Copies of this chain bind each other. A is one copy, B any other.
Amino acid sequence: MTKKYVYSFKEGNATMRSLLGGKGANLAEMVKIGLPVPMGFTVTTEACLNYYDEGEKISEDIVSQIFGALENLEQEMGKKLGDIQDPLLVSVRSGAVISMPGMMDTVLNLGLNDESVKGLAAKTDNERFAYDSYRRFIQMFGNVVMEVDHGNFEAVIESVKEKKNITEDTEMDAEGWKEVISLYKEKIKEETGREFPQDPKEQLLMAVEAVFKSWNNQRAKVYRRINKIPDDLGTAVNVQTMVFGNKGDDSGTGVAFTRNPSTGENKVYGEFLMNAQGEDVVAGIRTPQSIDQLKEVMPDIYKQFTDVCTLLENHYKDMQDIEFTIENGKLYILQTRNGKRTAQAAVKIAVDMVHEGLISKEQAIIQVPAGQLETLLHRRIDPNAKVEAVAKGLPASPGAASGSVVFDPDEAEVMGNDGKKVILVRTETTPDDIHGIVAAQGVLTSRGGMTSHAAVVARGMGKPCVSGCEAIRIDYEKEEFQVGDTVVKKGDIISIDGSTGQVIIGEVPMVEPELSDEFNELLSWADEARTLKVRANADTPRDAKTALEFGAEGIGLCRTEHMFMAQDRLPIVQQMIMSETKEEREEALAKLLPIQQDDFEGIFEVMDGLPVTVRLLDPPLHEFLPNAEELIEEIHELKANGNSEELEAKREMLKKVRALSEMNPMLGLRGCRLGLLYPEIYIMQVKAILKAACKLTQRGIKVIPEIEIPLVGHELELENLRAIVEETAEKVLEEEGIKVDYFIGTMIELPRACLTAEDIAKHADFFSFGTNDLTQTTFGFSRDDAEGKILPHYIEQKILTDSPFIILDRKGVGSLMKMAVEKGRQEKEDLLIGICGEHGGEPSSVEFCHMIGLDFVSCSPFRVPIARLAAAQAAINHKDQTK
């Protein structure tokens, strides 16, 4: 018994995707549910694999099955391929199991030749249409099947147009296309040594073979590699009867969504053009009409179409994007697919569909792309506004803002306090600029990456920031910046969009973030579905409040360094750093203690009853000092002015800066290394945490402090510091006479921590993955350096599909995480494990965290809703897998 290699659309259905490809299976499904689909057949993926097995040859058997299917099609359509009177025309399209856009272009109008084109002209009574169709076919076939470069055809058209003294294709008459056709055929002969085939069956077999071959072209191979699609799936080929919307006033073509893709409103939305082809709608030559008007023009067709919409939505359980053609008063559905939509629409449609009983809550959760929701959670530029960016930097902190340009942080503070809206513009920011950032609506810097000071601080404050915008050249002296030929002076209004990195001159209309009722309803369903807890990264009581409002179940990362950088603390911190002896250092730390305690009290109070992970000081100390180059400049100035006392102080500072300077600060004296070399710093912080906890406990507030040691790579680092933390904590609790349960754990952010997690777990109550640093060390990429200079090239060269700092690298970083979870839980079965890197709010990364069995993710407050939804999606998609 021979295998069945060719299926009529009538024989397939949606479940046969692996045999018929995605497109073929969907066309068959539409036929099956009775939709008016132009008839055709699908050559299976197995035929493609057979083609390769046979040494790139279509077997006799498959050829005869194709011709058999063609005969049936001809019979059904009452037309024959290549008929001189009324030829059947078909399209030939690839159809892989997993969509691979651009693998092979479509061949339309197959079946035309020097004879049948006459039949088409006669039948349609439109010679120009017929010959235009024919030349389009030769052009597509020549390019896609016979591999003649596109430029050859364009050159032919240009030469004929020139000769005819016309400029537009639309001005070309039938005679002109005939000349083009003749030249096309010559060109194909010249380029390939072969005649353009006149036999329609030969055309068909060549087109099928071209689709088979396209499975292994370079483009497809790279695409599969990048998208991890197996190489042994093969592609199907769809052969479908052509229909034409440009056959007269009872013909037309259009595109419509079953619901409004912008607002989500449950009402068909789209447009159509009478007597036109799909290309004409796209080209915008005539203005299309709203789909509503179809009701007037062709009420029956309109009724038929809306019925189709309902049918397809019911069938596919999602809003559909439908292409249709009306040929001589008959409606054909050419394609349906799930429609693209705005975030707002996605939420509304999903929730509406649940209320309509169309889908389940779980289906609604799955249907909304979590990542897209980010746009709803920040003030943003009105998507309907026409704005033109003058420059693009890094999207360092999401949200949009407008304000007057200010270059000086002091000035920003004064103006901000006066209620003015300002944008602080700096080459880069330092801790000395914090008060300016606080007062500004947003920050724009010309240097620095996604983890530059400006970026980190702005994200912490939930303020928009565009960083590393190298196109702007700042002149502090003149108080202006230049971008291209435009000069922007202090006081001029600009807008920045920290979600896209855009910089815009002038004010632009903004849209406020919307947490609609539907959104809240969807999130409440998500909360029921998910098993991952969602916490937020928050360093201030204000952040903590926002986090709570967005549904955070704790704070997964409270960074204490931002507290050190506030303007009132920085001088004390600097004094601490400049100390020559431990005693001097302790003196400065003693001044910081009550301030830190106050910080923690504020946060603990907000998070009453929920856990708060406080990370002890992490960054290298020189981050709190001015940079060396600046100091050298200042020293030269002071030398000129002759202010010897200040000069001496600056020189001292420079000496210290140099002593602390490191070749690679990311890999230097930071994290737990600071704690081991200067235990007095950690002791102060632990005292502040516990004293705060005691004070609030007395007031009846439940505090659950989790003290986190950063950058551990060796178990003894944690063992030593745990002892110090415990001793300090117990002493405070004893002094205060209060009982507070506290936990001690560690960031897992170095490869060695993952590799030795079973040892580290011995001394840890919890693990929290710091995937920013773990990505840096696993890849050997400094984020600051790579994000601007290396990763864009890598993505352009397709070495990476995404920045691993945005979407977690499962293969490398992920396998270390998996190892750490397994080894950690092998030592301590109930070890609490979370993630607090920025991946904690990115849906694909959240899914991975769910898959490897983490307990929580923690992300910036504004991303909490995204994480809640993504966690629910992961739980639903991996339901059958045990944790």
> Is B662 a contact partner of A799 (Cβ separation < 8 A)?
no
Q: Summarize A's interface: helix, strand, loop or mixed.
A: helix
Least Cβ–Cβ distance between A792 and chain B, in angstroms:
10
| B713 x A812 contact (CB < 8 A) | yes
Q: How far is the CA of A811 from the CA of B667 in the complex (A)?
A: 20
Could you say which of B711, B780, B797 contacts A667, with CB atoms under 8 Å apart?
B780
For residue A749, which residues in chain B have a CB less than 8 angstroms away from its CB? 780
Q: Which one of B632, B752, B809 contacts A633 once the chains associate, using CB atoms below 8 Å?
A: B632
Q: How many copies of this chain?
A: 2
CB-based contact A676/B714 at 8 Å: no
* Given A669-B789, A790-B677, A816-B755: A663 and B784 interface contact (C-beta under 8 Å): yes
Query: Contacts of A669 on B, CB cut-off 8 Å?
Result: 785, 789-790
A666 to B773, CA, bound (A): 14
Chain B residues within an 8 Å CB radius of A711? 780
Please report the C-alpha to C-alpha distance between residue A798 and residue B716 in the assembled complex, in whole angstroms: 8
Can you list, as one digit per residue, whether each of A294-315 has a CB less than 8 Å from chain B (1) or not (0)?
A: 0000000000000000000000
Which residues of chain B have C-beta atoms less than 8 A from A677's C-beta? 790, 793
Q: Is the pair A756, B812 in contact by a Cβ cutoff of 8 Å?
A: yes
Tell me whether A667 and B786 are in contact (CB under 8 A): yes
Q: Is the CB of A797 within 8 A of B664?
A: no
- Max chain B C-beta neighbours (<10 A), residue from A662, A663, A677: A663
A773 touches B780 (CB 8 A): yes
Residue among A749, A798, A799 with the highest chain B CB neighbour number at 10 A: A799
The answer on a CB contact under 8 Å between A797 and B633 is no
- For the complex formed, measure the closest distance between the CB of A800 and the CB atoms of chain B, giving whole angstroms: 7
Interface string of A750-788 (1 = CB under 8 A from B): 111001100000000000000001001111111011100
| A636 CB-CB contact with B under 8 Å | yes
Residues in B with CB closer than 8 Å to A826 are none
Contacts of A755 in B (CB 8 A): 778, 811-812, 815-816
Interface positions, chain A 805-846, Cβ under 8 Å from B, are 809, 811-813, 815-816
Interface assignment of A629: CB less than 8 Å from any CB of chain B:
yes
Are B799 and A778 in touch, CB under 8 angstroms?
Answer: no
The distance in angstroms between the C-alpha atoms of A233 and B823, with both chains bound, is 26
Q: Is the CB of A816 within 8 A of B751?
A: yes
Q: Does A668 contact B (CB under 8 A)?
A: yes
- Is there contact, CB below 8 Å, between A668 and B786? yes
Nearest opposing residue in chain B for A633, CB measure: B632
Q: Do B756 and A811 touch (CB < 8 A)?
A: yes
- Interface flag for A68 (CB, 8 Å): no
How many Å from the CB of A17 to the closest CB on chain B? 28
Is the Cβ of B812 less than 8 Å from the Cβ of A667? no
**A628 located at the interface, meaning its Cβ lies under 8 Å from any Cβ of chain B in the complex:** yes
Task: Give A654 Cβ to nearest chain B Cβ, in Å.
Answer: 10
Interface residues of A in 154-177 (CB under 8 A from B): none
- Taking A777-B778, A780-B713, A782-B662 as contacts, is the C-beta distance between A676 and B794 under 8 angstroms? yes
A-B residue pairs, 10 tightest by C-beta: A664-B782, A667-B782, A752-B812, A668-B785, A663-B784, A751-B751, A664-B664, A750-B780, A716-B799, A662-B785
- 21 cross-chain CB contacts under 8 A: A629-B629, A636-B636, A662-B784, A662-B785, A664-B664, A664-B665, A664-B666, A664-B784, A664-B785, A667-B780, A667-B785, A673-B790, A677-B793, A711-B780, A713-B780, A713-B781, A714-B779, A752-B812, A752-B813, A755-B778, A756-B812
Given A664-B666, A666-B782, A713-B812; 14 other pairs, CB 8 A cutoff? A632-B632, A663-B665, A664-B664, A666-B667, A667-B667, A667-B776, A668-B790, A713-B779, A717-B799, A750-B778, A751-B751, A751-B816, A755-B778, A756-B812
